[in-house]
Amino acid sequence: MTLLPRSLFAFAAVALIAGVTVAQTPPRPTVPRPVVPEAPVPPPPDVEGKSWVLMDYTTGQILASKEPDMQVEPASITKVMTDYVVSAEVANGKVHMTDPVNISENAWRGGGAGTDGSTSFLKLNSQVPLKDLLYGMIIQSGNDAAIALAEHTAGSEPAFANLMNAYAKQLGMEHSQFQNASGYPVANHFTTARDIAILSRALIHDFPEDYAISAVKEFEWNGIKQHNRNLLLWRDQTVDGIKTGHTAAAGYCLAASAKQGDARMIAIVMGAGSEKGRADAALALLNYGFRFYETHKLYEANKPLATPKLWKGAENTIALGVAEDAMVSVKRGDYDKLKANLDIPATLIAPFKKGQQVGTLRVTLDGQPVITAPLVALADAPEGGFFSRLWDTIMLWFHSDGDKDKK
C-alpha cells in the first residue's frame, strides 16, 4: 500500500468532508489538420523579362529559365563582374582594401555613364579608400566608383575590361563580353541571364565578405545618403543581394539571391518593364525554387563508391569515389526516381595516382542526365612486385579469354 503524504492526505480528507470535487485539467484536444493531397509540381511562374534564370546555388543547376542564353545589355548588372574582378585582385594581393584611389576626371564624369543618374558623388582629384568605392559601387550603383576602381586595379578602364573578360572565360561565362566597368551601353558589351547566374554564384562562394556588401540597405558618402536600389531587401528578409541595373535599352534588370535554412537560390531577371516588375519577377522565381525543389547529397567526397579488381598492383583492389560531394537539386517527390550508374573499365591495370580519373559517375532522372562526375582513385595504387605482376599477366590471359567467351 502506498502512503500519501500527510499534507495531501489531510487535503483529500477535508475535500471529501466538504463535498468538494478536485478537478483535473483534461489534455488539450488535437487540432485536426487537412490532408495535403499529392500533386505534381507546377510549372515555373510566367514572370516579366526578356530572359530569366532560376539557379540552385549549391549545385549550380538551372531549375527554370526563359531564353537563358539570349545576349542582352546588362546595364549596371555589369558591376557584379567589376566587383568580382576587384575582389579577386585584392585576394591575389594586387590591390588592397585600404588603398587610396585617385578620382580621375574620367571617373568623376562617369566615363559618359552619368546619363542614368548612378553616381556616388565623388570629388574630382580626391582620394577615396578602395573599400568605400566598393560600397559606393555596389549599394549606390555609382558609375564613378566603378570606373575609379577599374583604373586603380588595371591602370585604365580598357585594360580592366580585358581582365573582366579573362575572369569571365575562367568562370565559364561563354556568352558574355565586357567593354567597360560600369555597364554604360556601348557596342559589343553584352551578357546572358545564365552567365550572370554563374557569376553571381561564384561571387557568393569565392568572396562572401564582399558579397555581404550587397545586403547593406544604405550608404552615405560626401554627405549624401543613398539607398540600395534592390527593393527585395525591404520586402523579404531572406534576400541578401545582389545588384540592380537599368538603361533605356536594357530595361530593368535584377540579380537576386536569398537563403532559407541551408538552401540558397539565385534569380536573374533581364529586361523587365519596371522597377517593381523586376522585383516581383525575381521574388516569384525565388519562392518557386524554395517551395518546389530540394537539394540532396547523393555521395560524399572521398568515400569509396566501388572497389573493383586491380591487376598488377601492390593491392588487389582500388577504391574509387568522387573528389567533390555529388549534390543534386530535384523537384519535390522526384528523389526516389534518380538512377545512378558507375562507368568503370572492365580491366584496371596499375599504376594509378590519387585523384586520377578512372571512370565516370552518371546520375539520371527519367532518362535525362542530372550529374556527370569523374570517378577517381582515392589513393595511390602503385604497381606490385615482379612476381605479382608476372602472375597477373598470366591470369589476364585467362581473364581476357573468358571475356571473349561471354561475347
The residues carrying an active-site annotation are 76, 79, 141
The CB density around residue 158, as the number of other CB atoms within 10 Å, is 12
What are the strands, taking DSSP E only, across 12-76?
Answer: 51-56, 62-66
The full DSSP string for 64-117 is EEESTT--B--GGGHHHHHHHHHHHHHHTTSS-TT-EEE--HHHHTGGGTGGG-
d(CA 186, CA 376): 46
Q: Residue 29 in 3-state DSSP?
A: coil
Identify any residues that bridge with 311 across adjacent strands, giving them in sequence order: 349
Among 215, 253, 219, residue whose Cα is nearest residue 236:
215
**CA angle centred on 100, ends 96 and 104, rounded to 5°:** 120
Tell whether 243 is in a known binding site. Answer: yes
The CB density around residue 14, as the number of other CB atoms within 10 Å, is 10
Tell the residue number behind the cell numbers 606490385, with chain if given: 384
Burial of 407 (0-12, 13-18, 19+ CB in 10 A): exposed
CA 168 to chain centroid, in Å, comes to 16
Q: CB–CB of 384/312 below 8 Å?
A: yes
Q: In the chain, what is the straight-line distance between the N-terminal and C-terminal CA atoms, in Å? A: 83
Among 144, 145, 138, 168, residue whose Cα is nearest residue 240:
138
Binding residue numbers for substrate: 243
